[in-house]
Structure 1
Amino acid sequence: MLDVNLQSVKTNPWLRGVLLIGLIALALWMARSKLYSFTSETAFTTITGEHIVLKALHGKPVLVTFWATSCPSCIKEIPHLVTLYKQFHSRGLEIIAIAMAYDRPNQVVAMTREQKLPYLVVLDITSEYARQFGRVWATPTTLLIDQNGTVAKRKIGAFELMDMQARIEQLLKG
């Protein structure tokens, strides 16, 4: 039987290492478990006035992207999002594009109209969604949420279209 007491931890480097690794693993697990605070009750109102509750999307994969009209990578990503929407929406994929709090609402609405975005666009005026979806601070940040509401992929920066297509296809095949 392993007899561990405070004195042996202080004097035995192996025990200190094991304890340190355990504490780091615990801290990472706790940080990860609190990273996302969105729930099935999280609700959005789109720029067109449509009210969406995540619970209503249960059973469907959902791609949530945080973006800004002033973000060059976000603008370059729009055609990829449109492609994903056209390719997978009829099979159940929902896309929610959340504009960051610093983005002016009139600019978001104008760009949505100019680009003829087919997916849902939401304003995050208070940064509440950015907090709930993992303290988002950089754009673009994209989360792919599986049919059970679990984050299957989180990407900070522009995503690769082929990689995202493969991941969505995998989710849809179950």
Structure 2
Amino acid sequence: MLSRRTLTATAALLGALAISGCAREQAPAVDYVLLDGQKLSSAGWNGKVMVVNFWATSCATCVKEMPQIVATHEKYKSRGLDTVAVAMSYDPPAFVSKFAETRKLPFGVAIDNTGAVASAFGQVQMTPTTFLINKRGEIVKRYVGEPDFAALHQLIEQLLAQA
């Protein structure tokens, strides 16, 4: 039989773990420019579920997963999902522009010329790296490599259902 003291200590520990598990990191405040010259800011993400995908045209996995990123965007955009694909600073802008045009990417594509956006998101260096951000601007999940898209869709469904 557990003593009252042990039960109290266990309850306190579980409470602390639950609280720390609920605290999520805020997405960084970033400014970026889309291929069409439009200047945007992460402040515009408020109230939306966001997919922020760091990629490069030279990354085979990025190129392979892009049709699934597009399909995810198309499936959920009418319900409040938005997507931005952030090309890494080393990716030649002409390559990025040509890729976006030939693939008819239906979401914003930004070129992180200075690396500031990748830096703000925790020194992103590996591609693809994808962040899922909730309506409150909190990072819910970070995927390094290609996500499990079925699991990603389940998580997006949950986030879209939240107030």
TM-score range with shorter-chain normalisation? 0.7 to 0.9
Q: Partners of 2:54 and 2:41 in 1: how far apart?
A: 17
Q: 2:28 aligns to what? A: 38
Q: SS of the residue aligned with 1:107?
A: helix
Alignment of 1:132-147 (within 5 A): 132-147=120-135
Query: 1:36 Cα deviation (Å)?
Result: 7.0
Match of 2:144 in 1: 156
One of 51, 59, 62 as aligned partner of 1:71: 59
**Aligned-pair Cα RMSD in Å:** 1.7
Q: Segments of 4+ in structure 1 off by > 2 A?
A: none
TM-score using structure 1 length = 0.77
Structure number with greater Rg is: 1
Q: Which moved more, 1:43-52 or 1:70-79?
A: 43-52
Q: For the Cα contact (< 8 Å) 2:26–2:138, is it kept in 1?
A: no
Return the letter of the residue paired with 2:28. F
Deviation at 1:55, TM superposition (A): 1.4
Corresponding residue of 1:83? 71
TM-score normalised according to structure 2 size: 0.82
Structure with more contact order per residue of length (Cα contacts < 8 Å, sep ≥ 6): 2
Tell me how far apart the structure 1 counterparts of residues 62 and 113 of structure 2 sit (CA, whole Å). Answer: 18
Alignment-mate amino acid for residue 122 of structure 1: A
Q: How many angstroms apart in 2 are the aligned matches of 1:115 and 1:169?
A: 26
Runs (5+) with no aligned partner, structure 1:
1-28
Contact 1:66–1:141 (CA under 8 A) maintained in structure 2? yes
- Which consecutive residues of structure 2, in runs of 5 or more, have no partner in the other structure? 1-19
